[in-house]
């Protein structure tokens, strides 16, 4: 069986690479979903090289262990295996349990660098061992209690076909025991989002159906001076363990605001809290959307650059002449002693990979979960389906590295297209979206036929159903890879040396948009001015 390095290893390897910390998750509960499913999205943002793996289910004998390895490849822990582990593809298992995350760091002094488990290992072990979201929370809590927690603050999205939870975890400081954590069930009928900031505020202490937490969650904060029950009011996890500044709010809560303002325009939600306005009310953990959301709706939310708002990144001089939403790092800078920050959107060029997990309750196990998977920038990516029951992944999604370009790596092909598009973004993105919409539209249109066929076969021959789904998903990924390589060639030919080929293949001089030309002339009014009376016709080509 063809396999590759786990998607989770991108998280481990990426920390040692050129990381640009930041991820975004969107959670749609069953009652807020158009299909009656739980939906979780996860963008892995940073200079990582993502690879993909389908791992088979396995039965384990007494004495079998899971080896936790460091970045140097050395074994750091050996954790006893349970009697059975579930099949997984990416960070989703065959029972329809999926997990995403965003790092909030929080209080750096609470990182336990001697702890045993990093967050990506917890996610991997949880999807292998848990049949429900609640079980996943228990798996993670039990593991850190026994082996310790090594990462900084994390917010996890944990879903199954019936429930969605947000779990937040932070360490106890160097050499401490276990972790401090809380997990809250997202109320059915609502949606939630998180983006590198702790979002759980107050939570019920005596409602285990909807909230579970570590026994030390409040007392630890009191003992360390993070919370004073006499003066601080009700305990808020996010305030105690992830105190916010205007700069961090701008980089994090703006993304939550944009999800909420698009999903529920009727709320007329102001961005004041995310902009650091003093006294502004924090955004709620979850909201009721104006209408139920589909997987396609969630994909659209992931492609957001604040379009249609005062913060629209495709507008203004900072977007360049062709309306590019790309802002290179660092996002903050100083001029004349004044600090500034570019906007940080949901969709960013630093995304390594992303997925939308669609978790359905009334489907047989091979079909329970669908991982809609895409590479690079979500705005210019193309999502294709990976069913929970598949046994292989497309080979070009499971090879390559961050240092060497290769046409045999789908990730590199997507990066090539997205980076080339920055030369004339407002033009090229339209060509990209034609292919993107065609492919994604076909995959969604074919979904009912593929699933009905596989479900019928699964009743008498589950192995054959898995083979059908595997062949389809591998073929879909290969089709995306092939079309994107073709697209790269067409873009190079059509947009060459500043010209744009017309329908007949003839290069055309298109110049720059008038609004951008006005900005240039306003900034440098004399340099480009011709003498009075000079004809307006263009000069002869040189």
Tell me the pLDDT band of 540, cut-offs 50, 70 and 90. Answer: low
Residues 243 and 392 in one domain: no
Contact 159, 137 (CB under 8 A): no
Residues 80 and 227 in one domain: yes
Mean confidence (pLDDT) of the chain: 94
Residues 267 and 372 in one domain: no
DSSP 496-523: ETTEEE-TTS-EE-----HHHHHHHHHH
- Within a domain: residue 120? yes
- Within a domain: residue 316? no
- Within a domain: residue 310? no
- Within a domain: residue 123? yes
Tell me the pLDDT band of 71, cut-offs 50, 70 and 90. Answer: confident
Percentage of the chain beyond pLDDT 90 is: 91
- Within a domain: residue 309? no
DSSP 124-155: HHHHHH-SSHHHHHHHHHHHHHHH-B-SSEEE
Structure tokens at 108: 């750096």
Residues 285 and 434 in one domain: no
- Per-residue model confidence (pLDDT) at position 18: 39
In this model, does residue 535 exceed pLDDT 90?
A: no
Average pLDDT, integer, range 92-107: 97
Residues 376 and 452 in one domain: yes
Residues 284 and 412 in one domain: no
Average pLDDT, integer, range 501-510: 94
Place of tokens 């700069």: 247
Residues 111 and 255 in one domain: yes
Average pLDDT, integer, range 287-306: 98
- Per-residue model confidence (pLDDT) at position 501: 96
Of 466, 481, 496, the residue that ends a domain is 496
In this model, does residue 12 exceed pLDDT 90?
A: no
Show the domain range for 256: 8-304+345-352
Helix, strand, coil percentages, rounded to 5, for the chain? 35, 20, 45
Q: What is the per-residue pLDDT across 233-272, written as a single tens digit (0 to 9) for each? A: 999 999 999 999 998 999 999 999 999 999 999 999 999 9
- Per-residue model confidence (pLDDT) at position 11: 42
- Within a domain: residue 97? yes
Q: What is the per-residue pLDDT across 210-238, written as a single tens digit (0 to 9) for each? A: 999 999 999 999 999 999 999 999 999 99
Average pLDDT, integer, range 366-378: 97
In this model, does residue 2 exceed pLDDT 50?
A: no
Strands (E), 51-115: 54-55, 58-59, 65-69, 75-80, 84-85, 88-89, 92-93, 98-105
- Per-residue model confidence (pLDDT) at position 72: 85
In whole angstroms, what is the distance from residue 378 CA to residue 362 CA?
29
- Per-residue model confidence (pLDDT) at position 537: 65
- Within a domain: residue 470? yes
**How many structural domains is the chain composed of?**
2
Average pLDDT, integer, range 449-460: 96
Helices (H), 264-364: 295-302
CB-side neighbour CA atoms (13 Å) of 67: 6
Residues 295 and 371 in one domain: no
- Per-residue model confidence (pLDDT) at position 198: 98
Residues 32 and 181 in one domain: yes
Of 320, 352, 384, the residue that ends a domain is 352
Residues 393 and 273 in one domain: no
Residues 283 and 414 in one domain: no
The single-letter DSSP state of residue 164 is E
Tell me the pLDDT band of 539, cut-offs 50, 70 and 90. Answer: low
In this model, does residue 9 exceed pLDDT 70?
A: no
- Within a domain: residue 184? yes
In whole angstroms, what is the distance from residue 258 CA to residue 244 CA?
19
In whole angstroms, what is the distance from residue 425 CA to residue 236 CA?
43
Residues 154 and 238 in one domain: yes
Average pLDDT, integer, range 319-344: 94
Closest CA to 427 of 480, 499, 363: 499
- pTM of structure: 0.94
Tell me the pLDDT band of 19, cut-offs 50, 70 and 90. Answer: very low
Of 473, 496, 519, the residue that ends a domain is 496
In whole angstroms, what is the distance from residue 283 CA to residue 102 CA?
17
């Amino acid at each position: 069986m063809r396999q590759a390095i786990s998607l989770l290893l991108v998280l481990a390897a990426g920390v040692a690479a050129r990381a640009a910390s930041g991820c975004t998750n969107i959670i749609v509960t069953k009652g807020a979903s158009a299909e009656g499913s739980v939906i979780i999205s996860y963008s892995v943002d940073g200079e990582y090289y993502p690879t993909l793996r389908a791992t088979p289910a396995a039965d384990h004998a007494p004495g079998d262990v899971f080896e936790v390895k460091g970045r140097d490849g050395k074994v750091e822990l050996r954790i006893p295996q349970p009697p059975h582990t579930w099949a997984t593809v990416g960070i989703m298992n065959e029972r329809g349990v999926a997990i995403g995350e965003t790092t909030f760091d929080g209080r750096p002094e609470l990182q336990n660098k001697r702890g045993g488990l990093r967050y990506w290992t917890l996610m991997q072990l949880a999807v292998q061992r848990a049949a429900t979201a609640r079980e996943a929370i228990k798996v993670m809590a039990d593991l850190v209690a026994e082996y310790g927690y090594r990462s900084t603050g994390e917010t996890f999205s944990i879903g199954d076909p019936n429930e969605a939870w947000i779990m937040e975890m932070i360490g106890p400081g160097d050499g401490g025991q276990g972790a401090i954590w809380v997990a809250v069930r997202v109320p059915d009928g609502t949606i939630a989002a998180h983006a590198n900031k702790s979002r759980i505020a107050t939570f019920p202490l005596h409602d285990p159906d909807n909230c579970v937490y570590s026994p030390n969650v409040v007392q630890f904060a009191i003992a360390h001076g993070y919370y004073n029950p006499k003066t601080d009011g009700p305990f808020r996890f996010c305030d105690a363990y992830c105190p916010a500044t205007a700069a961090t709010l701008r980089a994090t809560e703006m993304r939550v605001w944009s999800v909420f303002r698009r999903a529920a325009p009727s709320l007329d939600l102001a961005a004041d809290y995310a902009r650091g306005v003093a006294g502004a009310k924090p955004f709620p953990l979850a909201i009721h959307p104006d209408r139920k959301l589909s997987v396609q709706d969630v994909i659209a939310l992931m492609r957001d650059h604040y379009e249609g708002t005062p913060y629209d990144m495709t507008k203004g001089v900072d977007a360049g002449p062709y309306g590019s939403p790309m802002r290179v790092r660092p996002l903050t800078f100083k001029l004349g002693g004044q600090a500034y920050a570019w906007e940080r959107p949901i969709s960013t060029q630093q995304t390594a990979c992303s997925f939308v997990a669609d978790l359905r309750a009334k489907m047989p196990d091979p079909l329970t979960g669908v991982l809609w998977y895409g590479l690079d920038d979500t705005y210019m990516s193309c999502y294709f389906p990976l069913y929970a029951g598949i046994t292989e992944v497309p080979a070009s999604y499971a090879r390559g590295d961050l240092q060497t370009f290769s046409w045999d790596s789908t990730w590199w092909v997507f990066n090539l297209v997205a980076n080339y598009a920055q030369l004339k973004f407002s033009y090229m993105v339209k060509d990209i979206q034609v292919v993107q919409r065609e492919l994604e539209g076909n995959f969604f249109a074919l979904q009912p036929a593929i699933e009905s066929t596989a479900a019928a076969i699964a009743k008498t021959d589950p192995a054959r159903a898995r083979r059908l789904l595997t062949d389809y998903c591998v073929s879909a990924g290969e089709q995306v890879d092939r079309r994107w390589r073709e697209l790269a060639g067409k873009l190079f030919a059509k947009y060459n040396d500043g010209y744009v080929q017309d329908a007949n293949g003839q290069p055309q001089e298109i110049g720059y948009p008038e609004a951008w030309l006005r900005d240039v002339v306003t900034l440098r009014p004399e340099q480009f001015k011709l003498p009075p009376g000079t004809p307006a016709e263009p000069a002869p080509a040189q």
